[in-house]
A = this chain, B = another copy of it.
Amino acid sequence: MQYFTDTEKYIDLQEVNTAIETAFADHGRGVVQMPPKMYITLPDGDFRSMPAYLPSLSLAGVKIVNVHPNNPAHGLLTVMALTVILDIATGIPVAILNATKLTDMRTGAAGAVAAKYLASKKEIVLGLIGTGRQAEAQYQAISQELDIYEIKCWSRNSLHAEKFAQAVTGHDSRSVPLEKACDCDVLVTTTPSRTPIVRSEWVQDGTHINAIGADAPGKQELDPLLLMRGQVFVDDMSQAVHSGEVNVPISRGIFHTEDIAGTLGEVVIGMKQRRSPDQITIFDSTGLAIQDLAIAAIAMRNGRAIDLPFP
């Protein structure tokens, strides 16, 4: 059994995007096994267990990931993760990966795949609501697929937004008011909000939105009017209904599962697409265990490992 500790090194972002796209295609074809993630509530946060089997990569395993919002006060990241990989022929555990940064990257890659297929343009203004680790991951991954010529970012903490804008090089990037950040071609929301912060009237026709922040019951970032106005694609139907951007509007009866246009996997395999250039499209990401397997495969190929005795 091997323990991969510095998993984010030696990883090529384009390789990740391609692997994640393939995983979504498998999901669209219905050839993966992936029950909805299971939540356990702890006093100051929660953790999720995410098992899956991806036959195309002959890979099976479980990602275990926590969300503890007060962690930064203790010098720890809010989200940390481990992935355990099993040999599919015998079930023996073959690898354990520090999957904290891999989680950021595979979520960024899903956003990149969504933007690649659903954005109405190839040269874009990127709007970022929230400027934390996931905003960075989305920006990095999307820039592999589309030409970003301008970045407009906003954070509840304007200092964070300024810092983010300054750190981005090679693009025109600046911190702007919330409303201005929504005026773009591809909008990415990565906040932990529990009330809508992006109003429908701020978003122009034809915009593609990656709604990333909502990943647990009660979370939402977008005005429900936007969902009704746009075409909503989810990563996984049952996970999205439970914990995605659509979970609150569905639980309140103002949006319905029948209103969901399809899954990103169906988009990747050509079964579904944006209706017109003027359509608003929304990718509702909750994060799939098959994304964790796909990126684990890359990390295991390229990374360095510590050998551990097992059995």
Give Cα distance in the complex from A91 to B82, angstroms. 11
Q: Which of B3, B40, B45, B86 contacts A64 (CB 8 A)?
A: B86
Question: Cβ of A84 and Cβ of B86 under 8 Å apart?
Answer: no
For A146, the chain B residues whose CB sits under 8 A away are: none
Residue of B nearest to A46 (CB): B91
For A52, the chain B residues whose CB sits under 8 A away are: 40
| Binding-face segment, A68-76, A149-157, A202-210, A214-222 | A68-76
| Binding-face segment, A12-20, A109-117, A268-276, A303-311 | A303-311
A88 sits at the interface (CB 8 A): yes
Give Cα distance in the complex from A222 to B43, angstroms. 42
Q: A40-B51, A43-B89, A71-B90 are in contact. Are A5 and B309 (CB under 8 A)?
A: yes
Question: Cβ of A76 and Cβ of B51 under 8 Å apart?
Answer: no
Q: Which of B35, B49, B93 contacts A62 (CB 8 A)?
A: B49
A41 sits at the interface (CB 8 A): yes
For A33, the chain B residues whose CB sits under 8 A away are: 40-41
For A51, the chain B residues whose CB sits under 8 A away are: 38, 40, 47, 49, 64
A contact residues, total (Cβ < 8 Å): 45
Give Cα distance in the complex from A308 to B2, angstroms. 11
A261 sits at the interface (CB 8 A): no
Q: Which of B42, B53, B98 contacts A41 (CB 8 A)?
A: B53
Q: Which of B38, B89, B93, B310 contacts A35 (CB 8 A)?
A: B38
Question: Cβ of B68 and Cβ of A40 under 8 Å apart?
Answer: no
Q: Which of B66, B88, B96 contacts A96 (CB 8 A)?
A: B96
A60 sits at the interface (CB 8 A): yes
A92 sits at the interface (CB 8 A): yes
Question: Cβ of A308 and Cβ of B311 under 8 Å apart?
Answer: no
| 5 A–B contacts, CB within 8 A, in A order | A3-B308, A42-B91, A66-B86, A67-B91, A306-B308
Q: Considering the complex of A and B, which 7 residue pairs feature the smallest CB-CB distances, nearest first? A: A66-B91, A49-B51, A68-B91, A35-B38, A42-B88, A40-B53, A82-B93
